[in-house]
Structure 1
């Protein structure tokens, strides 16, 4: 996996700092609903399943920076498609388009944006444009698999929202996902790219999101919480018994995972119920709440976009 992080993406552009964010009370209200824990398990488990179904491509979603770059790339494609004549023009993206967008949002340097653009093509996130004239040389479009995975990503989030309030967003989305995706994703991506709380998460998220597969590691720990054992001393036991088990499930090296778990352990986010690295791993209530609030912010963003569409 490639870690693209070399840029202070926590430095928001001026325009982004003025964007609205979900009120803290609204986030807390969602996160404290009785059914939210089940919604959280649905999300975490679905993210792991998505990775297992296409590990080569989803490796591009491994860090906070690369996830935002993925959202930005596909949103730019939909925006360009919206300005094209559907009958005579096919939209396409160039690496220059993408680099300018990455710089505009403070996501990456030119070199990092170019590297990500190349990796996206190599890993199947994008395909070469069908057109071969000079203007379109090097142009790309999102692959069919990417669009299918994005539709699934929205479906899972809408299922989570429906689980919380017994709504029908997922059914309505699936009925017209192809049309709706083009309208909703630029709106959602803009909100994700400009929301300070999404881009600048808490200390545990920072530890995990600045290295390869960090987000997936958090998903795996949340999905593995032992629901049979109640919270004790502010700790949630998980079904993870060894570092090797965790590393193997995500195709990572044991050394790599051990190093990052040790960093989280130093600030009290995780720990071992017995011998370090050889017993059930626990996560702190603070870790759980930080993850939960991040997902709640994202769900509110998607819900607002859904209602607007």
Structure 2
């Protein structure tokens, strides 16, 4: 039986499991900040999923149905994720940093398919593993081992996850403070870092302490300018979503219970999408 978003959100183990997930995201970011940043901003995250889904759904026997830059850009526009110019700039950036590569076309030189490089696929696999581990931590099932046992697991699962994310209103239109950070460069990493430093036992407090003390150190780790990060944090502070236990920027930062719950609700929605996709991809339920 798959877990729906409400069941996940109400699960007593969610806070501890998601904290471990956030720590895994932090480790991936530290290992390769530039590549991880593709998944650390809402718009780029969705564009990457669209491109990957087209890649995995291509028909290798028909060169006219390959995943080209033009087809990816068209799909991004059709899903209203970004403008043509933004999508084009994203593709060019992915090519520049060797996150995707052009594949020579034998039949027609005018068609230039692109595909993710091995390092990019490793990043996607790591993202998927972290979320499957969270789901297994909630119900004791064996999604992770089933995924690892199949060489075609990512190709089967990722397009269905992309479908679920793109069709989800809560994913596309996040609430309040969560939305504020999803449009910040590396905003996902900002939230993961904040949540990873929270003791789940403190989750019921109105002001939940984090491990962040210095904005400068925080921004340095995230490769963000101190000024840019401070501006976004100030916006969140004005909303009552974050604050400081003492002097601003020189004491422990806290997050509000509402912001913390927003983050957990967003994770529950995403995890439910992944779980439903997993069940559809592999035809059987992971056993507990």
Correspondence for 1:73 among 33, 47, 51 = 51
| Superposition deviation, residue 307 in structure 1 | 1.0
**More relative contact order in 1 or in 2 (CA 8 Å, sep 6+)?**
2
Q: Does 1:135 align with 2:118?
A: no
Q: Does 1:112 align with 2:86?
A: yes
TM-score by length of 1: 0.85
Q: Does 1:196 align with 2:152?
A: no
Aligned position for 2:153 = 180
Relative to structure 1, the CA distance from residue 293 to residue 286 in structure 2 (aligned partners, 3 Å threshold; closer, same or farther) is same
Runs (5+) with no aligned partner, structure 1: 1-21
Contact 1:84–1:90 (Cα < 8 Å) also in 2: no
Contact 2:36–2:123 (Cα < 8 Å) also in 1: no
1:135 alignment partner, SS class: coil
Q: Does 1:225 align with 2:203?
A: no
Contact 2:244–2:252 (Cα < 8 Å) also in 1: yes
Runs (5+) with no aligned partner, structure 2: 282-288
CA offsets 1:89-143 (integer angstroms, 9 cap, x no match): 6974322101110111011111111111101111222012144751334x31111
Aligned position for 1:60 = 38
Q: CA RMSD in A?
A: 2.0
Question: When the two structures are aligned, how many residues end up with a matched partner?
Answer: 279
Relative to structure 1, the CA distance from residue 152 to residue 62 in structure 2 (aligned partners, 3 Å threshold; closer, same or farther) is closer
What does 1:141-160 align with in structure 2 at a 5 Å threshold? 141-160=115-134
Contact 2:15–2:200 (Cα < 8 Å) also in 1: no
Q: Does 1:257 align with 2:229?
A: yes
